[in-house]
Chain A
Amino acid sequence: MATLVGISEKLTQKHSKLQLKAVSRSFKTAQGPFVALANIDLEVREGEFLCVVGPSGCGKSTLLSLVAGHDHPTAGEVWTDGEPVREPGPDRMVIFQEHALFPWLTVRQNVEFGPRMLGLPRREWHDRCDYYLRLVHLSKFESSYIHQLSGGMKQRVALARALAAEPNLLLMDEPFAALDAQTRDLLHDELERIWSETGKTVVFVTHNVREAVRLGDRIILMTFRPGRVKSQFRVTLPRPRSLEDPAVALAARQVLAELREEIDMAFEEEYVHEA
């Protein structure tokens, strides 16, 4: 039974939550134009968990910035829910690697920030935040300040804060890369559980192939710069999954084999110098 299926099908706009059409992003530098992303076509279905994998420097984070609206493409269009993306907003919440939690607010106040900005009536956002704090198992810490929490707890708060804004899309930029392996494992389980409970559409950027296979429904492989979509895989392993599962490791090996060329290119560019 194939647990990893290479795919090349195209979805119709009706089903997509997110669409990138011929998106390119280049930067002007002193050495001339630097092309971070070239001609990306991408579609994500509602409720799908998409993982974007690639070597460092392939433009994964740039891609996420474009979807979030923090950055704008030099060519092409980004659409969510049939609307073009113009600026950042609570419908596309980003979770960064370095938590961007506000240290002057308590855990609860951080989670309430989004709903407050949306101008919801107090009772509604109070209940909403109760729900999400419970979802990430941090209700007991709602009066703590950020500096009192561990790294894993901070990312859980970041998750609760993002979810409390009730986004259409959850964009995660290597959110667990700075955490130790055990915490990361726990958070994988939490994320999978939360995702299946809330049905959110997730775009998860990572350089860790095993993590991508463990979490994703679909994996997009990107080339070294300029970043292009090299190939796609559908992961059909049953859920809930585990990082230690040999099937996960096997599937990861297949993806890694394709990724290897790109990693080697990145390595050569960054580490090898002409004498």
Chain B
Amino acid sequence: MKRSLRLFIFYASLVALWQFLTGLKIWPPYLFPSPLSVLSALRLGFADHTVPIALATTMKRVALGYGLSVVVGVALGFVIATSRLLEDTVGSLVVGLQSLPSICWLPLAVLWFGLSEKAIIFVTVAGSLLSVTINTVAGVQHVPRIYLMAGRNLGARGFRLFVHVLFPASLPYVVTGLKQGWAFAWRSLISGEMIFVTLGLGQLLMMGRDLNDMSQVVAVMVMIMAIGYLIDRAVFHNLESRVRQKWGLEGSPR
């Protein structure tokens, strides 16, 4: 059975079960909304433009924050990887900072940047940049020595060896870093928006809670889930497996 058909049947059954459970009226609807009420909350949100605006705001923020973290993260990764000293010192700091949940940066961000877009972008970048860097450093470390030997043999040195051999050879790990970075960026941003309360999907979710509208809360949760999953699957998963295949790191998918 085709994969997409299987997925559809699975989710359809899940929603049907959910609707069935709410029909049993075990829990009150304000604790356990039905799929139909979630759907109508979504429809309402699109009709009065609150959802499209929130969506656009969030997507804009994540594009900016994630984009920034990729550019800086990859560059930082390559700089760190050039020297053993940097790897041991700055590298350890990067790993340490990465264990901090990105939301911890919010108080500092608000102090530094005020209650502005900059603060929320900062939180997004903080969550994502470090994992991009860590994976980039790993990428450089895992470049098979034989590629570098071949490159030198063919006359590439210094900067040219970097551009033509080291950089492309480290791409599989860099792509994994991009994938992880996206996951962190998305989660950091949504958490930030929930606390920060200024437009965006996170704020929409909190508003639902404030209004005691659980259907809205669940509707936004479903949207957040769907976007995160779709982008991860459609963009990164494919990219990662295609790069790894081409680089000979894994065979064809089943």
Chain B contact residue count (CB 8 A cutoff): 20
A259–B146 Cα distance when bound, in Å, is 30
Q: Is the CB of B168 within 8 A of A104?
A: yes
Q: Does A122 contact B (CB under 8 A)?
A: no
A146–B168 Cα distance when bound, in Å, is 14
Among B152, B155, B160: residue with most chain A CB under 10 A = B155
Q: Is the CB of B155 within 8 A of A100?
A: no
A93 (CB) vs chain B CBs: closest residue: B153
Question: Which residues does B use to contact A, with CB under 8 Å?
Answer: 144, 146-147, 149-150, 152-156, 160, 164-165, 168-169, 171, 245-248
Q: Given A102-B165, A113-B164, A118-B155 in contact, is the A147-B150 Cβ separation under 8 Å?
A: no
A146 (CB) vs chain B CBs: closest residue: B248
Q: Which chain A residues (134-185) contact chain B, with CB distance < 8 Å? A: 145-147, 161, 165
A91 (CB) vs chain B CBs: closest residue: B155
A267–B246 Cα distance when bound, in Å, is 39
Q: Does A98 contact B (CB under 8 A)?
A: yes
Task: Report A178 CB to chain B, min CB distance, Å.
Answer: 13
Q: Is the CB of B149 within 8 A of A100?
A: yes
Q: Given A102-B165, A117-B160, A147-B248 in contact, is the A90-B154 Cβ separation under 8 Å?
A: yes
Task: Report A53 CB to chain B, min CB distance, Å.
Answer: 23
**What is the predominant secondary structure among interface residues of chain B facing chain A?**
helix
Q: Given A98-B146, A102-B165, A102-B168 in contact, is the A89-B153 Cβ separation under 8 Å?
A: yes
A148–B171 Cα distance when bound, in Å, is 19
Q: Which chain A residues (61-92) contact chain B, with CB distance < 8 Å? A: 68, 70, 87-90, 92
Q: Does A96 contact B (CB under 8 A)?
A: yes
Q: Is the CB of B154 within 8 A of A114?
A: yes
Chain A contact residue count (CB 8 A cutoff): 25
Q: Is the CB of B155 within 8 A of A104?
A: no
Could you name 12 residue pairs across A and B whose Cβ atoms are closer than 8 Å? A94-B153, A96-B149, A96-B150, A100-B150, A102-B168, A104-B246, A114-B154, A117-B154, A117-B160, A118-B155, A145-B246, A161-B154
Q: Does A103 contact B (CB under 8 A)?
A: yes
Q: Is the CB of B155 within 8 A of A117?
A: yes
A236–B136 Cα distance when bound, in Å, is 55
Task: Report B2 CB to chain A, min CB distance, Å.
Answer: 26
List of B residues within 8 angstroms of A104 by Cβ: 168-169, 171, 246-247
Q: Is the CB of B152 within 8 A of A103?
A: no
A113–B248 Cα distance when bound, in Å, is 19
List of B residues within 8 angstroms of A96 by Cβ: 146, 149-150
Task: Report B219 CB to chain A, min CB distance, Å.
Answer: 43
A158 (CB) vs chain B CBs: closest residue: B150
List of A residues within 8 angstroms of B154 by Cβ: 90, 93, 113-114, 117, 161, 165
Q: Is the CB of B155 within 8 A of A165?
A: yes
List of B residues within 8 angstroms of A146 by Cβ: 248
List of B residues within 8 angstroms of A117 by Cβ: 154-156, 160, 164
Q: Which chain A residues (97-124) contact chain B, with CB distance < 8 Å? A: 98, 100-104, 113-114, 117-118
